[in-house]
Structure 1
Amino acid sequence: MQITTLIPAYKTKYLAELLTGLLTQTRPSERVIVSDDSPDGSFGALLRDGPLARFASRLPLEIHPGPRAGAYENFKHLVKLWGGQTELVHIHLDDDVIYPDFYAQHRMAHATGDSISCSVSARWTANEKGQPIEGMPIPDGIFHAQARMMSVGPMALISSTVPYCQNWLGEFSNCVFRAEHAGLLSDTQFGGVSYAGLWDLGFFIAASLRQPLAYIQDRLGYFRAGGEGHSAQVNGKHMKAAHLGYAALGVGLERLGRMNEAQARLCYDGIASALAARYGGQEDMQPFAALLARMARGDADARDAFVDAWQAFLTLHGF
């Protein structure tokens, strides 16, 4: 099965490691598309004419200007450039690294048949230098399973993530999905409630509602914490949206009947506590903390007020 790698490019700092990960694949991808969202086009320029250009020339590389409308818009732009021309697709963030067997193992997962929507592999979290420092908080039942590859359906996925406000799967960089599910990247809502800010987990759940996902136990890459990524900007709009996104997932999935009230209230209570601890003195987060505390007690009016406030937050910050 053929794979296209989509790179939403912005930071040039880790370009050498990005290229090394792609060039050392035991079964490389057939197509690599870069959408250059760097302000001055420096990412594409380095690939064409910089000191790493001779390495980049060994890849089946296409370089296009990006939309410069935010990271997620660049994802959607890349999907349009790809156009569904391979069976499988991988969105590879520019500061993450994949290990040599990444594509080989993900191909194996999809070769088992048409019964999975996407494959997700375990990963390390690394520091700024790329040294692995911790793993993901994988549920015990999966972490201690004997199988190297497991099928995970929506019930198991939802119940192990949203109620506990915990994404143990990771993000798009360690996921390969089938072409027929690419449209889910544009339909980022459940029950009319947007899950912007948690696009990765929302996508995994949405895909699992169509077909189970395949979880690969081997750690086939790393996510770089700190540096210039959104995860390092604790007070930035993206990290705040990631917190609130769990509550949005809870409301949307409860509306769809995919989460029960107890699970949803557990989620709201967890996020209320997190907001109080991390953003207690910040004016924009205080109303959300109060609403979520009421939602955790079963207040339906507070839930409706949260949805309105959440939508206003997304509009204000251009999500």
Structure 2
Amino acid sequence: KYPRFKSRKKSRKSAEYTSSAFRYRDGQLTLAKMREPLAVVWSRPLPEDAAPSTVTVSQDAAGRWFVSLLCDDTIAPAPATTAAVGIDAGIASLMTLSTGEKITNPRHERRDRARLAKAQRELSRKEKGSANRAKARLKVAKVHARITDRRRDFLHKLTTRLVRENQTVVIEDLTVRTMVTNHKLARAISDAAWSDMRSMLEYKCAWYGRDLVVVDRWFPGSKLCGACGTLRAKLPLNVREWTCDCGAVHDRDVNAAKNVLAAGLAVSACGDGVRPQRESSRTGQSSVKQEAQRVTAGIPRH
């Protein structure tokens, strides 16, 4: 069949320059066939004695230009600490930590939803192929870029703080791709960007010498009493606080974060993997569930 060509209007435009096609001196970048250096606002300085090997110039859908320099660098590990934290991801609270701290969800898409809807309405009225439609499309792209930038900035600051303060970070393995099939929660889940948050934690923990533990997605963190180990049969989403038979009163999210931390530390202690484990052919349960039962085995249940 005939080849299907990609649209330059929809994809990110980029050009890559090797070492013979650019010059970087004293913080100024000059590309091939250019007399004057580029007017660049640098986000951060290059590492000392670093020589860029490749330069990539790109333009996003909002019409903004970016320059990325590739160079060798070694990130120094952060000072060791004994602190550990369990994280329960949510929508009302973006994160609930095992320390009891709740981090409010900024809801960046909701804050700009009216502006985005207006820009999309104006785009839908323009004739396809016209110059006015191109201008309207650029306005929509700028609103999306504003939402994305604010979300990414917030997640970077949050994940960097968690990695610097804790030696071990424990999270749940969330199947975001399956969860967004719920049409009532898909927009809120996408705005929370749990997948981006996890990827940031993964590479930042690798950078700074931290341990990231991912517990099994089926671990019943919310329904498990952190005091006596009793497992409730049901716990609807609208129940935010519940009282165990042992008398312990639990905040749903804080209790889940504490149980996730306990399961993650148990997995680390027994030398299990950080990825979700398959069910054991002997017990029919995942290793994380088995370890959670071992942790609470000696505690009397009511």
TM-score (norm 1): 0.24
Higher helix proportion = 1
Compare CA radii of gyration and give the structure with the larger one. Answer: 2
TM-score (norm 2): 0.25
